[in-house]
Amino acid sequence: MNYLIAGLGNIGPEYELTRHNIGFLTVDRLADKHSLKFDTDRLAYKTELRHKGKNIHIIKPTTFMNLSGRAVAYWMQALKIPLENLLVVTDDLNLPFGKIRMRSKGSSGGQNGLNNINEVLGTENYARLRLGIGNEFSKGRQVDYVLGRFTSEQFAELPAIMDTASDAIVSFCLEGVNNAMNKYNN
């Protein structure tokens, strides 16, 4: 059984440890836990985890956040991934920092990467794992906040959050979206 996990973020050192890149950071954490290395491939950095009879393909689109749909659609087609086996991992301003929420479908919530995926795939009916980054910014400062780096306190908490999110990703592949939601939505 094939799965596609797409961690969203922006490529380049200036974005590396920003709030908007928590999707990249999370799939990096998952890859590290299983001693996997990402290779540059078509429209994405890609690696594969074979785990308990599942082929879990993990990508980090190199198209930049706002064009993530191109990479997701390409890899779904190339690997023949059914929509129900897609999980997108992304940041969420509407959730407090540290909160994770998996959904089987839904709107983009204003997240540009999800907007583009919805547009390219022509549907909102795919699973997503949202990681809360909070919304402690003043009016008109949303972009600076999202593209800003985590506070030192947040940075200290990130490994535990990403470990939980990594476990939720594996649970999605092994047990299905509903069981994963019941287990990990905190």
The catalytic residues are 20
Residue 131 belongs to domain with CATH number: 3.40.50.1470
The domain containing residue 40 runs over which residues? 2-184
Domain count, the chain: 1
Q: What Cα–Cα distance (Å) separates residue 176 from each residue in 41, 53, 69, 107, 161? A: 28, 14, 23, 20, 21
Kindly report the pTM of this predicted structure. Answer: 0.95
- Tell me the backbone φ, ψ of residue 100, rounded to 5 degrees: -120, 145
Per-residue pLDDT at 144: 85
Per-residue pLDDT at 137: 85
User: Which parts of the chain register pLDDT below 50?
Assistant: none
Per-residue pLDDT at 186: 66
Tokens 């649970």, residue?
A: 171
On the 0-12 / 13-18 / 19+ scale of CB atoms within 10 A, 106 is: middle
Per-residue pLDDT at 136: 83
Instruction: Tell me the C-alpha distance between 123 and 137, whole Å.
Output: 31
Closest CA to 161 of 23, 34, 20, 36: 23
Buried b (16+ CB within 10 A) or exposed e, 28-43: bbbbeeeebebeeeeb
